[in-house]
Structure 1
Amino acid sequence: MLRTHVLPRWSDVPLFRIDHLAVQSWVTELSGRRSPATVAECFRLLSSVLRAAVRDRLIGANPCEGVKVPSRRKKATDGHVLTRADLVGRLLPAVPDRYRALVALAGGTGLRWGECTGLRWEALDLDAKTVQVVRVAIEVAGTVTIKPYPKSRAGRRIVPVPDFAVELLAAHHEAFPAGPRGDVFTNSSAGPLRRTLFRARVWRPSLVRAGLLGDVSRLGHFKWRAAWVDLEGVTWSAEFTTEREAVAHIAKMAPGGLRFHDLRHSYATELVSRGVPVNDVQAVMGHEKPSTTLNLYTHRSDGRDQRIRDAFADDPLTSNDD
């Protein structure tokens, strides 16, 4: 977290030049790219450093005081759940061939971005239908490096891979050569994947093509309409001569939309809603505590009320007296 989001922004800035407005602008900008929990943790790290600087009398006051940080309440992720049917039937067909297995793996195993992009073929067993998480890719200021182990002991784990992801991984292995270290996923130049570029060039256009972000409709020969809704609920539209241009425009202009990390959220939510024990979900997610699984990645699921009623359906209305 420190190396990924805090140091790239502040490492070269003198302490006396860090003011309240600069910190607030950074928090606001980071909030547009990262989850409230990530932003809050980055802010906490920066504030602790500046608090130490105040204690050592290097600066007079902590510029983090009074900065507004986005809420970490669970509702920040409500509505960002993709059903397994939509993953397989809508999103995956819309993803370019080179990256379809990557999205299938993330959606079918709950692996994080860095765990997916740091994966090597030696950690995949397609016959046993398992993936071993033993390293992650870390991106700092546009440079991707490989860390040999995930961030916690629980992060080192073996996760079952569903059939649809196994099939796409097998096809990926046949179609695209491995990276120089046996990397499963690379860009078109056989280099490491960069998250920001992937989001702009692959992920968001795929959401548009899948009908999960904005709307593209054909008006006639060489005429396409792009439509999207802004944060105020106002609908905007523009016309283009190609579908590709219309898709790219929505991907750039439309706010919100499903995040790559929401594939992980959707995976855990579906497991719990299907009755998989929380301790098993915790294990495949790589969480240290089951409370993390429940608090971050689950919410009310369809059919919950009826399942609860069914659990008590056979209970007697009265008990026998002794």
Structure 2
Amino acid sequence: MTQNDRPITGSLKERDGMYTAILNVYDKTGKRKQKYHALHIPVKGNKRKAQAALDELIRNYESPEIKNERAKKESPLFADFLLEWLELTAPTIERTTYESYKSLITARLDGFFRLRKLRLDELAPKHIRELHQSIFADGCNANTVIHYHAVVRKALQYAVKNDLVTENVADKVDRPKKSKYLAGFYSKDELSKLFDATKDDSMAAVIQLAAYYGLRRSEVLGIRWSSIDFDRGTISINHKVTEGKVDGKTKIFAEDKLKTKSSFRTLPLIPAMRELLFKQKKKQSEYRALFKSSYCQDFEDYVCVDEMGMLFRPNYVTDHFKLLLRQHKLRPIRFHDLRHSCASLLLSQGIPMKQIQDWLGHSTFATTADIYSHLDFNSKQESAEAIASAFAPEEEPEENAEEEQGFSMTLSM
């Protein structure tokens, strides 16, 4: 360390009720020089503010070498910063979003950045590109890369906002183009086979409600008897059931909070569903009488419960659905694809995309169109007929028979 690289020190002095900063600066020979700066900060009640101003002055006077040394000491490892950012941002985001971020950090980001021992202020665009490449190298698609990139970018946005770094290096890296998602779905015949094969399963109501109404998993599990009006013939989607981990333990969350405002919707009670729900209600009464005190009373208002009155866990629904398909040798699809199957059948019946948006509870028309436009054959057929008509040759009008006869007579004369 050269003489002028010696750490700069400072102190505060009161002058006429105002704070003045005194800096001890060293020249190349090591000689100390004192510099005075009027802070224009009143003494009364402003000690912390004045100290912060003094610290800022000291940083401004430091040599590049000392600044670099200070940065290394103050800037955390990016892997540690990600974990800290996650906990700081937790109160401002949905629990499911928090769980998603946490799983992405735990699964890959923490290990990737910790292995490289990169500090927050050392992060560069090339490191983000290396992250992308490592994800692709593991056989993941562009959508997976986009998810990881989004988490890194959000964390860096927080860092920029709080003056921990000067720029968001993730913005300098192009994200890969999102892969077009083609939803899987069952045909009408396949759904009929599914309903028949699972009619005696405890999850029969879960499966059919999801298929008929195109419900998300959390929505179908959140259906309550109090949300069904048999007299008016309506069913309201206004509650959800999800699960997540708290302190390492899986916990069920039931809440009156759906994905978007548009997810709250009231739909007509389809006759087949009315009959199914009456049977479900009767089953619950029979099981309650059979198991007596052993029957769970906590979820009496819920439609989708097992024989003991316990609410189905979301992950159980996913796993059991896969098992049912294997057992009955049905084509593999995801449980969520029942929602897509509903949309596909509505499109095949000529239902406009806007009405399907309302039925499914999508927040925007664009979301519905982006997912299901490739299935909308009816609109394509109309377009095909329109373009065919536009290019069709015009037919020559037939001449009047009398005029033709008169014309012939004229020629014969």
Query: What range is the shorter-chain TM-score in?
Result: 0.5 to 0.7
Map 1:76-225 → 2, pairs under 5 A: 76-78=181-183, 80-87=184-191, 89-95=192-198, 96-141=200-245, 142-176=250-284, 180=299, 182-200=301-319, 202-213=320-331
CA–CA separation in structure 1 for the residues paired with 2:326 and 2:174: 32
| Cα offsets for 1:10-32 (capped at 9, x unmatched) | 48x9x9766288988x989xx99
Map 1:225-304 → 2, pairs under 5 A: 257-300=332-375
Classify 1:90/1:4 alpha carbon distance in 2 versus 1 (closer, same or farther; 3 Å): farther
| Cα offsets for 1:50-79 (capped at 9, x unmatched) | 3236545869999989999997433x435x
Classify 1:318/1:8 alpha carbon distance in 2 versus 1 (closer, same or farther; 3 Å): same
Q: Residue 202 of structure 2 aligns to a residue in which SS?
A: helix
Deviation at 1:204, TM superposition (A): 0.7
1:19 — aligned with what? 113
| Cα offsets for 1:271-319 (capped at 9, x unmatched) | 1221112221111111222121111134236787766666789998538
| Cα offsets for 1:144-201 (capped at 9, x unmatched) | 212213232211111234333332222111112585350111244433322222222x
CA–CA separation in structure 2 for the residues paired with 1:114 and 1:303: 31
Larger Rg belongs to: 2
CA–CA separation in structure 1 for the residues paired with 2:213 and 2:115: 41
Contact 1:133 1:156 in 2 (8 A): yes
2:24 — aligned with what? none
1:220 — aligned with what? none
Counterpart among 179, 183, 188 of residue 73 in structure 1: 179
Classify 1:117/1:314 alpha carbon distance in 2 versus 1 (closer, same or farther; 3 Å): same
Q: Give the AA of the match of 1:288.
A: S
2:394 matches 1:318 = yes
Contact 2:263 2:362 in 1 (8 A): yes
CA–CA separation in structure 2 for the residues paired with 1:154 and 1:264: 16
Q: Which runs of 5+ in 2 are unaligned?
A: 1-95, 117-130, 286-296, 398-413
Q: Residue 304 of structure 2 aligns to a residue in which SS?
A: coil
CA–CA separation in structure 1 for the residues paired with 2:211 and 2:238: 19
- Identity across aligned pairs (percent)? 22
Q: Which runs of 5+ in 1 are unaligned?
A: 214-256
CA–CA separation in structure 1 for the residues paired with 2:362 and 2:252: 24
| Cα offsets for 1:91-118 (capped at 9, x unmatched) | 1223353110111000000111111111
Equivalenced residues, count:
267
CA–CA separation in structure 2 for the residues paired with 1:6 and 1:284: 30
Counterpart among 98, 118, 141 of residue 3 in structure 1: 98
Contact 2:219 2:240 in 1 (8 A): yes
Q: Give the AA of the match of 2:251.
A: T
Counterpart among 33, 44, 47 of residue 152 in structure 2: 47
Q: Which has the higher helix share?
A: 2
Q: Give the AA of the match of 1:208.
A: R
CA–CA separation in structure 1 for the residues paired with 2:309 and 2:135: 34
Classify 1:3/1:279 alpha carbon distance in 2 versus 1 (closer, same or farther; 3 Å): same
Q: Residue 139 of structure 1 aligns to a residue in which SS?
A: strand
Query: Greater relative contact order (Cα 8 A, min sep 6): structure 1 or 2?
Result: 1
Q: Give the AA of the match of 1:82.
A: Y
Classify 1:4/1:159 alpha carbon distance in 2 versus 1 (closer, same or farther; 3 Å): farther
TM-score by length of 1: 0.65
CA–CA separation in structure 1 for the residues paired with 2:310 and 2:169: 39
Q: Residue 212 of structure 1 aligns to a residue in which SS?
A: coil
CA–CA separation in structure 1 for the residues paired with 2:176 and 2:313: 26
Query: Which stretch shows the higher mean deviation, 162-171 or 102-111?
Result: 162-171
TM-score by length of 2: 0.52
Q: Residue 254 of structure 2 aligns to a residue in which SS?
A: strand
